[in-house]
Homo-oligomer: A and B are copies of this chain.
Amino acid sequence: MEATHSIGIVSAQRAQFNSPLACKSGGILPEYELVYETYGSLNRDKSNAVLVCHALSGHHHVAGYYADAPKNIGWWDNMIGPGKPLDTDRFFVIGLNNLGGCHGSTGPISINPETGKPYGAGFPFVTVEDWVESQARLADKLGITQFAAIIGGSLGGMQALQWSMAYPGRVRHVLAIASAPRLTAQNIAFNDVARNAILTDPDFHGGNYYAHGVVPARGLRLARMLGHITYLSNDVMADKFGRMLRSGKYIYSYDIEFEIESYLRYQGDKFATYFDANSYLLMTKALDYFDPAREFDDDLNKAFATARANFLIVSFSTDWRFAPERSRDIVKALLHNQLKVSYAEITSTHGHDSFLMRHAHYHDLIRTYFNNIASEFTA
């Protein structure tokens, strides 16, 4: 029997940090807030905490829904809840919005205390390393010295991997899903096109569009349209949309002709109404910058030399954004360091987006892995 119970009504919490965060980019955040949610209960010895790291456009609302917005369901609700693969009856789950985001944590839209105006383009470049540092401080505040597991997909997986390197004593299990040890040139290229769409939008105003009462919606829309192409596989696009025409025939117009155009434009338009352009730029740069091997002569083996966690690495067969080969690169480096690692390549037609989908084999895998983790502290 598949459990489909929701964790139910949840609410966001805030944590204020008054000691400065020195970012890897050289920028300093004198103070900052993190918005987060928690599900389930922390056990007595605080050994059942799981941190969920989000990807490009994710946030702290990972599971459940809000009392005043019952349709606003967390982005990984199919994975997390009572009886779900990451079972909130057994684990204490934390989701947060990363620094630089636009869902409540301190970001470009926040007021810079030094100027009294939004940070805008002045928000420091943030990296995966900075996020992990800020997440560790949040863990300190919650009294969690060691996570049972840290899990993330895509950019979230990079954060989980970074934890294993930066805080080897603070995480027992790392689950990196549809992730990569660093971006390829093609990945960076797509990010750069998306960024240039925003940067060259006349409404961007060098990142200080807030003062002009506009947002670079055209740029954000294009960035999201392009992003969606890379999240889906060629196959699933062919299956879902193919060459289906909206009106059954060619209309010879730049309006929507093909259903795939309708889908992309809808996704782009929606995104442009709620996502902050400066946050989008920062998140894509954080992706580009992540490269733990870089400080070790491009040797990923050395980068993982400090890691002590156990790992589950998961990839999806049709993911061409972060292809299975990239996950295997991670696995090889972990094995080189004689770490315990399980690897699964899930056959799925959904491309990179597979990590967010309900998929029996994939969910069984995550469920089993967490069951094993639970047996460590309930035994």
Contact = CB atoms under 8 A, between A and B. Distances in A.
Contact of A229 (B25, B26, B186, B291): B186
Copies of this chain, count: 2
Given A221-B196, A254-B281, A289-B250, A229 B260 contact: no
Contacts of A242: 185
A26 B221 CA distance: 32
Size category of the A interface is 35 or more
Nearest to A126: B252
B222 A258 contact: no
B243 A193 contact: no
B288 A257 contact: yes
Interface string A260-278: 1100110010000000000
Given A243-B291, A254-B281, A225 B264 contact: no
B229 A188 contact: no
Given A226-B193, A252-B26, A184 B258 contact: no
A192 interface: yes
Q: Which of A27, A125, A252 has most B Cβ within 10 Å?
A: A252
A183 interface: yes
Contacts of A260: 185, 188-189, 192
Contacts of A228: 189
B185 A241 contact: yes
Contacts of A294: 243
A367 interface: no
B185 A237 contact: yes
A182 interface: yes
Nearest to A203: B202
Scoring A189, A193, A199, A281 by chain B CB atoms within 10 A of each residue's CB, the highest score goes to A193
A66 interface: no
A190 interface: yes
Nearest to A198: B254
A236 to B, nearest CB: 9
A195 interface: yes
A-B residue pairs, 5 tightest by C-beta: A25-B252, A185-B237, A125-B252, A185-B241, A200-B218
Given A185-B240, A222-B222, 13 more contacts: A25-B250, A185-B237, A186-B229, A186-B232, A186-B238, A190-B229, A192-B264, A196-B225, A197-B222, A200-B218, A226-B226, A250-B289, A257-B288
